[in-house]
Amino acid sequence: MWTRRGWMLGGSAALLGLGAFLYFASPGQASVAQAPVGTRAPDPRPRAQPPASSVPVAAQQAPAPPPEQLPGQSGAPEGAGGELEALAASLRERYGAKLTEPAIQVRMLEELMRYFSERYPDRWEEELLAFLRKMFPEMYDTLAATLRNRIDYEKWVKDNHAYLRGLSPQERRTALWDARHRLFGKDAAERIWASERKNQAMGDSLVALEAMEGANVQEKLSAYKQRLQDVYGEQAPAHLARHQQELMDRFMDLPSIQQELTAMPPERRLESLRAIRQEMGLDEEALKRWDALDRVRDERWEAGARYTAEREALTRQLSGAELEAQLQALRARYFPTEADVIAQEEASGLFRFQQLRQWGRN
């Protein structure tokens, strides 16, 4: 891919920024940056007295149980009972062993919210509660309260969209966490959004790495790996294995890392790229594939530089149909299999070899 993509400091900030809070309550979804203590968001729930600038208050009690009438008895299609029995069995198989965990409760409830809102758009909450009461009676109070808090949190974020947009990233992060703590309780909220906390910590670590004056690539890589260990603990190796490419990209996209790689001689740069990948856990076969790809990319960029120089010379000397004929021949000589694509790109104003070279990425 020739355009620059992925995570630079701005990329990690985007992950922690405004757009992320639209993923209202999904466990592990990235949110926004941490804010100064003391920032308060509008109350998401109506009160008998005039609204104050306080943050939301968690549901103290589960909603009253719905009537005994179940989905199959309240206007649902005939045969829905069997479908719901199968759904409950599937949920118990996937979530049952860990259903006391708040994050698992939210995950299951969000799946049920999608299921019932598709089938009963006007009364999905009533049908969902009836389903929980019948299929999970031992957990009904807990699940119903969690559902209420999940719905209230989503409503609060939507209602306060403009308010949140007006905050700094730091303030926005605190406002969201304050709302979560007060709605779900601090312990439950921290469990539900545990992966987001860790992701925020890693985003903050990238900012700190960029600020390490005088540190070279290897020193920053060592600090990065140590931070991974600090944040994920005994789960660090498994997390690294699952997110190897993403974690490498985030590190290599740091402006200071790209600048140092740019300043290196070609062979030294190839060695540094290999060392980074090796430190991040790639095996020898993967390293060899990357070595080959790096060399292919270097050759293409070198050819692209020569092509660009010749193209610019032609545009200074020729014009009209004669210029286009010469450019067509030039593209075919340098890039025979991509000449037509490159011609279309250039006609639209995109010149791929004038794009920024991102080491390890393009």
Tell whether the model's pLDDT for residue 256 goes beyond 70. yes
Spans of all domains in the chain: 32-40+55-192, 306-362
Position 295 scores a pLDDT of: 97
Tell whether the model's pLDDT for residue 96 goes beyond 70. yes
58 pLDDT tier (thresholds 50, 70, 90): low
Tell whether the model's pLDDT for residue 347 goes beyond 90. yes
Position 30 scores a pLDDT of: 35
Among 50-64, 101-115, 146-160, 261-275, the range scoring the smallest mean pLDDT is 50-64
| Percent of all residues in the chain with a pLDDT value above 70, rounded to a whole number | 78
Mean per-residue pLDDT, 218-239: 97
Give the pair of three-digit tokens for residue 356.
């920024």
Position 2 scores a pLDDT of: 45
Higher pLDDT, 350 or 12: 350
Position 320 scores a pLDDT of: 96
Tell whether the model's pLDDT for residue 37 goes beyond 90. no
Mean per-residue pLDDT, 88-104: 96
Judged on CB neighbours under 10 Å (0-12, 13-18, 19+), 125 is: middle
- Inter-residue contact 189 to 237 (CB < 8 Å): no
C-alpha–C-alpha distance, residues 176 and 115, integer Å: 27
Tell me the CA distances in angstroms from 125 to 22, 67, 90, 192, 229, one per residue in order.
21, 13, 20, 21, 42
User: Where would I find the H helices in 96-123?
Assistant: 102-119
Position 72 scores a pLDDT of: 44
257-303 per-position pLDDT tens digit: 999 999 999 999 999 999 999 999 999 999 999 999 999 999 999 99
Tell whether the model's pLDDT for residue 6 goes beyond 80. no
| Percent of all residues in the chain with a pLDDT value above 90, rounded to a whole number | 77
Position 158 scores a pLDDT of: 98
